[in-house]
A = this chain, B = another copy of it.
Amino acid sequence: MREGLQPGDRLPSEPELIERFGMAKGTIREALRLLDAQGLVKSRTGPGGGTFVHEVSQQRAEALLANYFYFKDLTISDIYQIRRVLEPELVADLAGALSPRVMEELRDILASYSDPATTDEEERDQHVATLQFHKLLADQSANPLLSFLIGFMLTILTDITVYRKLYTPINRDLWARGLDYQTRLLDALETGDSGAARAIMKAHMQTAGPLMEGQEAFSLKRFLSH
């Protein structure tokens, strides 16, 4: 940081660091591992190789943050409490600002679950797809913090959905209402009606939220492993 290195820039080679800091190879390598674990550098072997500054990926940041919650009793309803306020905020920003390319992608995802699921497995896949719908929206935000936070919550919810049958009871009524919400949301986003987008998402979150409260409270420990 002090030397203003940018992603892609090469750190001094190990022998150079040994020379510069007057330390042994092992010590230098342990130090580099500390940066490695934080996702700040990546190393490559061979000529032209070395250790390079690397932008911390969203995936890495999510994994590191998940470690923190490994020791906390975070529940599904805790997550929904945050989603309930952040996602309406998100779509209010996005109304009228989405590219045709993204709009099309959103419609594609929506189409992937336009028919009710018939099996538990199909049901699970559809739920993952709805989460992808929200994820794609989150990725469009100009606010990196908002984008990350929603993405983080969606990753947790997706992991839980995949590794555990979270949404087992098939509920056709809920499915129909969710589909209706998202269809109307797309319209509001396209026409640029920020207020409507916010209201629709808010209502959507308020129906999805209480459903989760019914689930037993449980810690996320078993899902957070890398």
Interface of A with B (CB < 8 Å)? 1, 7, 26, 29-30, 33-40, 55-56, 58, 60-61, 64-65, 67-74, 78-79, 81-82, 85-86, 89, 143-146, 148-149, 153, 225
Interface of A is mostly: helix
Question: Is B56 in contact with A67, judged by CB distance below 8 angstroms?
Answer: yes
Question: Is B78 in contact with A146, judged by CB distance below 8 angstroms?
Answer: yes
Selected contact of A144 from candidates B1, B60, B73, CB within 8 Å: B73
The complex is assembled from copies of this chain, and their number is: 2
Contacts of A37 in B (CB 8 A): 33-38
A137 to chain B, nearest CB (A): 16
Question: Is B71 in contact with A56, judged by CB distance below 8 angstroms?
Answer: yes
Chain B residue nearest to A143 (CB atoms) is B78
Selected contact of A78 from candidates B7, B38, B145, CB within 8 Å: B145
Selected contact of A81 from candidates B64, B71, B146, CB within 8 Å: B146
A104 and B74 alpha carbons, distance in the complex (Å): 28
A27 to chain B, nearest CB (A): 10
Contacts of A38 in B (CB 8 A): 37, 64, 67
A143 and B37 alpha carbons, distance in the complex (Å): 28
Can you give 5 contacting A-B residue pairs, CB < 8 Å? A7-B71, A29-B30, A37-B37, A56-B67, A82-B89
